[in-house]
Structure 1
Amino acid sequence: MAEFDQYNRWEAQIRQVQLPHWSELPKFDLYMDQVIAFVNDAIGSLGVEAMTPAMINNYVKHQVIIAPIKKKYQTMQLADLLLIGLLKPLFSTETIRHGIDQVTAGDFPKQAYDNFIDVLNEALRQLGKGTAATPAKNLNEKLMQVAVNTIINRIQSEQLLKLIEKPIKKLK
């Protein structure tokens, strides 16, 4: 029963998490160490893997994000890195990039990002309450809902596994 209470406390903490909208992202260019600090601070409370300079350099090298200009990253790259950080444990970087490109093809990047953050923030607020999401009006909205549900299910599963984990005897 103590583990269940601990899980309920964790859920209450997660319901308080609010990921930043586009207008809350820095309006000035950032160097790598600032990007790392910002991204990890924004999504770290959800238990996702911390972003590293090597990861970001790899995303640039494989054209998952646009290369920085004079070693400085802009708002668009920050938004992409936040989304990648949330989705990377679940999907390949190619799938993430393709999804971002598809959603932003029908909507401006700022609006598409804010829509995704709104859906995710609402899902976090409703965690454990059993409230159904607002029905999607189009395929882009449905894609966002499915991705958000996948993120929520992953962080819940990982937390539950941590709480119920018991030592396992190894077979010889």
Structure 2
Amino acid sequence: MTQTLATFKLPAWAELPGVPVYMEQLCQLVNQALAPLGVPEVTKTMVNSYVKQHFFSRPTGRQYTRNQVVAVLVVTLLKQDFNLTTISQAILKIRDSRQIEARYQEFVVAFEQALRAQPVTITTADTTSQAIQFAAQTVAYHLLTQQALA
């Protein structure tokens, strides 16, 4: 992890594959996207575990959709600071909302603003949005703390 935190960007929804990808591609996508953060790489075993824990549905024909790629990206970040039970509750709430793209965008904005030391203004009474923004900030501030202590 270097000075890149201030300029780090998570992939935008539109930058993620619009067509299903295989496990190897999913791991490569997530690991490349998160490499500048210095977080542990995601493995096939981890992804299989996430499926078994119902973080997202089983792949269709061994291929993963954009929603599943987003879930792996976010779970990989969140598990730096949250236990899997908490992450599971969040994932289920987001999945039930049927607003995965919008919720991912909320996470991206809050995460990137926190990395840039810009205030994240919580302007909604929607508790799911608040939780997403708080979680994104928690992970970002953790990474910033690690960088400052390095």
- In 2: Cα distance, 1:74 partner to 1:135 partner: 30
Larger Rg: 1
Q: Which residue of 1 aligns with 2:139?
A: 151
Letter in 2 for 1:134: T
Under a length normalisation based on structure 2, what TM-score does the superposition of the two structures give?
Answer: 0.88
Structure 1 residue 134, shift from structure 2 partner? 1.5
Structure possessing the higher relative contact order (Cα contacts under 8 Å, 6 or more residues apart): 1
* Count of residue pairs brought into register by the alignment: 149
Name the aligned partner's letter for residue 88 of structure 2. R
What is the identity, as a one-letter code, of the residue corresponding to 2:79? K
Are 1:91 and 2:79 matched, yes or no? no
Q: 2:29 aligns with which of 38, 58, 63?
A: 38
- Cα deviation for residue 103 of structure 1 reads 3.6
Q: For structure 1, list consecutive stretches of 5 or more residues without a partner in the other structure.
A: 1-6, 164-172
Once the two structures are superposed, residues 103-123 of structure 1 have per-residue CA deviations (whole angstroms, 9 ceiling, x without a partner) of: 444461111111211221222
Structure 2, unaligned runs of 5 or more: none
Deviations 1:44-95 (A, max 9, x none): 2112111001111111122222111111111110010011011012112231
Q: How many angstroms apart in 2 are the aligned matches of 1:87 and 1:77? A: 15
Alignment counterpart, residue 119 of structure 1, candidates 95, 110, 116: 110
Q: CA RMSD in A?
A: 1.9
